[in-house]
Chain A
Amino acid sequence: MKKFLLSFLCVLSGLLFGALILKLSGISPIEAYKVMWNGAFSRPSYIAYIIIRSTPLILTGLSVAFAFRTGLFNIGSEGQFIMGALSAAYFGYMFHFNPWIQIPLVLGLSVLISALYGGLAGFMKARFGVHEVISTIMLNWIALYFSNFMVNLEGFHKANTETTEFIQPASSITLLENWKSSVAGMSWFSRHEFLNEFFRPPVNAGIFLAIIAVVIVWIILTKTSFGFKLKAVGLSPEAARYAGINVKKKMTQSMMIAGGLSGLAGATHVMGVAKNIAILAAHEGYGFDGIAVSLIGSNTPFGSLIAGFFLGTLKYSGQKIQSALEAPSEVIGIMIGAIIFFIAIPVVFERFLKIWEKK
């Protein structure tokens, strides 16, 4: 509860700091927040877009949070996301099964490959003492260039574009995709205005997978001896080793799970929203935003869920102040930075809370 209150205070201070910055640059913060609020919740399609935007953030946040609990800093979420997205695009295009086999198969392979990719960093830390921050920074770039190489591959690359072929319809996890444009679907939707608009964006099953992942991670961390051991390693590797826990194995396993979660984020993004992948000039930031999500959610599964939605909302609605008020939407980045900065200095807020409690 105290954790939650602290996070809440930090978020509030961050939003206030953003308001201050806007005010100083001659933009009315009240107007800006109004535009953001309406831009987030005033239409069903906006809400749908927020869910779509939040899904990968929840998963990468969960990935970072999970590794944090084992004392590992997973900067590699970015690269694991790319590996998941690449695998989903590749197998999703290459395989031709019916959806009931195709979707689990493509998802499973994507998660497996990114889990191995994440596990590599854990293994190198455990076996050779290579710091995971460095190895995952390298692995992020390797994933990016490898993905670009694959996009250019004959038979996968779409001619005259910077992208790959679209995945097979059987690999899609977008909800009601065909039904939306069928005669029956269109006539049904014409009678249900809210849902009609809600389902116009590519609403997909990714959000359910994300919520299931949150619950599973919560169960692992709080209800299993495996999770207990992971946390023991995170709190004190020395004590954990003394207690007979195989620390090296736990590090590798933890990074595998973290990698799989980030990969799931990439896979659901491709199978539900993008349907293909493109040449990347730079990292897209899903992994880095995941770090923000994890920190704001105080590295807990349900915290990541809430923080993922929060960040998704902020990022989606923040774009709108650019066109509506000509206010730089990067104020969102400043707010996120400020929130994390406040989270970094809990002493200040704890002092504040103490004074509050005394009253």
Chain B
Amino acid sequence: MKDLIFLFSTTLMYATPLIFTALGGVLSEKTGVINIGLEGMMTMGAFTASLVALKFNNPWLGLLAGGLGGFSLALLHALACIKYKANQVVSGMAINFLGSGFAIFLCRLFFDGTSMTPPLDLEKKVPVFMGQYSTVYVAFIATAFIWFILSRTVLGLRMISAGEHPKSTDSAGLNVSIYKSIGVLSSGFLAGLGGASLSIAIVSNFRPTLISGQGFIAIAALIFGKWRPVQTALACLFFGFSQALVIFIGGREDIHISSQLLSILPYVLTIIVLVGFMGKTTAPSALGE
């Protein structure tokens, strides 16, 4: 029982940053803009969150700052992709370099040349509620909220139509650029929250290797989840679970499986699922245009 609770809570903990970020990816891609820059936005958010949480002694302000950190990069991505019709993948790659570049650059400026922020005291971190960091609950609320927006509101419908049929959306008298911008900017904010939920909850500081590829895992999760918010969150839980399993088995004396081989498992499973069960692609039809 104790083991199960450990697995359950570790799963939730590691899934949270992915859920925020992948939901961001969903919003951006639903409006037709590929966002491969999630990784950079997460990194930026992780830094700004820990900076503000440290300076203002308030984790909630930190969380907000994390969102804004990601948002600031999303502004660039939106400008490039929507106004200047940039190649979205190239712009996203640029965001990744800019995100980690700026985050560590600013970190060195603020903290005497070190690439890590000083650790946050426990009371400055996101508070724990019923055995989980509050960010976990925020992530689930965000999932429900985004599901609601996308499937039950006019705004969501228009965002989706901007991603599926931009031309007919335009003919219907709607401003496609605005809906695309909403998608991209909110994706930056969410990815920033994802980074923040790492740097001011799961661990207590920002460091250059903190994100290391989680933004890309989030992209995999959203494709896994077929661009739907709830399924995407489930895919993130799957990645969280496999990470929890690695930690769980790694901590057991009586199970002898190489933790490295075990770490491969989620990625192999993802490929198998993509190959075997994915079926026809369900990406927004005007994605990347």
A interface, CB within 8 angstroms of B: 21, 25, 73, 75, 124, 128-131, 133-135, 137-142, 145-146, 148-149, 152, 281-283, 288, 291-292, 295, 322, 326, 328, 330-341, 343-345, 347-348
- Partner of B223 from A73, A128, A134, A148 at Cβ < 8 Å: A134
Given A130-B274, A133-B219, A337-B97, A345–B104 Cβ distance below 8 Å? no
Least Cβ–Cβ distance between B270 and chain A, in angstroms: 5
Q: Is A328 touching B104 in the complex (CB atoms < 8 A)?
A: yes
B91 contacts the other chain (CB 8 A): yes
Chain B residues contacting A75 (CB-CB under 8 Å) are 216
When each residue 74-101 of chain B gets 1 if its CB lies under 8 Å from chain A and 0 otherwise, what string results?
0010001000111101110111111111
With both beta carbons as reference points, the residue of chain A lying nearest to B271 in the complex is identified as: A138
- Partner of B91 from A292, A339, A341 at Cβ < 8 Å: A341
Given A130-B275, A328-B113, A145–B212 Cβ distance below 8 Å? no
With both beta carbons as reference points, the residue of chain B lying nearest to A146 in the complex is identified as: B264
Chain B residues contacting A131 (CB-CB under 8 Å) are 223, 281
B172 contacts the other chain (CB 8 A): no
Q: Is A73 touching B89 in the complex (CB atoms < 8 A)?
A: yes
Q: Is A334 touching B264 in the complex (CB atoms < 8 A)?
A: no
- Partner of B109 from A25, A139, A142, A292 at Cβ < 8 Å: A25
Chain A residues contacting B219 (CB-CB under 8 Å) are 133-134, 137
With both beta carbons as reference points, the residue of chain A lying nearest to B220 in the complex is identified as: A134
Chain A residues contacting B104 (CB-CB under 8 Å) are 328, 330, 333
* Residue among B84, B90, B217 having the largest count of chain A Cβ atoms under 10 Å: B90
Beyond known contacts A130-B271, A343-B90, A344-B90: 5 more, CB 8 A cutoff: A131-B223, A141-B263, A146-B261, A295-B90, A330-B104
Chain B residues contacting A341 (CB-CB under 8 Å) are 76, 80, 91, 94-95, 98
- Partner of B93 from A25, A295, A322 at Cβ < 8 Å: A295
Given A146-B264, A149-B260, A328-B108, A345–B86 Cβ distance below 8 Å? yes
Q: Is B212 touching A282 in the complex (CB atoms < 8 A)?
A: yes
Least Cβ–Cβ distance between B289 and chain A, in angstroms: 15
Bound-state CA distance A330–B43 (Å) is 14
Q: Is A281 touching B209 in the complex (CB atoms < 8 A)?
A: yes
Given A333-B100, A337-B98, A149–B258 Cβ distance below 8 Å? yes
Chain A residues contacting B274 (CB-CB under 8 Å) are 124, 128, 130, 134-135
- Partner of A145 from B80, B209, B220, B261 at Cβ < 8 Å: B261
Main secondary structure of the interface of A (DSSP, over half): helix
Q: Is A141 touching B264 in the complex (CB atoms < 8 A)?
A: yes
- Partner of A334 from B101, B217, B258 at Cβ < 8 Å: B101
B118 contacts the other chain (CB 8 A): no
Bound-state CA distance A130–B275 (Å) is 6
Chain B residues contacting A332 (CB-CB under 8 Å) are 101
Q: Is A345 touching B80 in the complex (CB atoms < 8 A)?
A: yes
Interface size of B in residues (CB-CB distance below 8 Å):
49
Bound-state CA distance A345–B115 (Å) is 31
Bound-state CA distance A339–B94 (Å) is 8
Bound-state CA distance A339–B214 (Å) is 24
B268 contacts the other chain (CB 8 A): yes
Q: What are 13 A-B contacts defined by CB distance under 8 Å?
A: A131-B281, A137-B213, A137-B220, A282-B213, A328-B108, A330-B105, A331-B101, A332-B101, A337-B97, A341-B98, A343-B90, A344-B86, A345-B84
* Residue among B109, B271, B281 having the largest count of chain A Cβ atoms under 10 Å: B271
Q: Is A337 touching B270 in the complex (CB atoms < 8 A)?
A: no
Chain A residues contacting B93 (CB-CB under 8 Å) are 288, 291-292, 295, 340
B36 contacts the other chain (CB 8 A): yes
Least Cβ–Cβ distance between A319 and chain B, in angstroms: 13
Chain B residues contacting A328 (CB-CB under 8 Å) are 104-105, 108-109, 113
When each residue 198-226 of chain B gets 1 if its CB lies under 8 Å from chain A and 0 otherwise, what string results?
00000000000100110011011001000
Chain A residues contacting B113 (CB-CB under 8 Å) are 322, 326, 328
Bound-state CA distance A19–B215 (Å) is 29
With both beta carbons as reference points, the residue of chain B lying nearest to A153 in the complex is identified as: B258
Bound-state CA distance A25–B264 (Å) is 42
Chain B residues contacting A283 (CB-CB under 8 Å) are 212-213
Chain B residues contacting A292 (CB-CB under 8 Å) are 93, 97
B278 contacts the other chain (CB 8 A): yes
Least Cβ–Cβ distance between B120 and chain A, in angstroms: 22
Chain A residues contacting B115 (CB-CB under 8 Å) are 330
Bound-state CA distance A338–B99 (Å) is 11
Least Cβ–Cβ distance between A279 and chain B, in angstroms: 9
With both beta carbons as reference points, the residue of chain A lying nearest to B73 in the complex is identified as: A337
Q: Is B209 touching A336 in the complex (CB atoms < 8 A)?
A: no
With both beta carbons as reference points, the residue of chain B lying nearest to A137 in the complex is identified as: B216
Given A141-B213, A334-B102, A347–B84 Cβ distance below 8 Å? yes
When each residue 207-251 of chain B gets 1 if its CB lies under 8 Å from chain A and 0 otherwise, what string results?
001001100110110010000000000000000000000000000
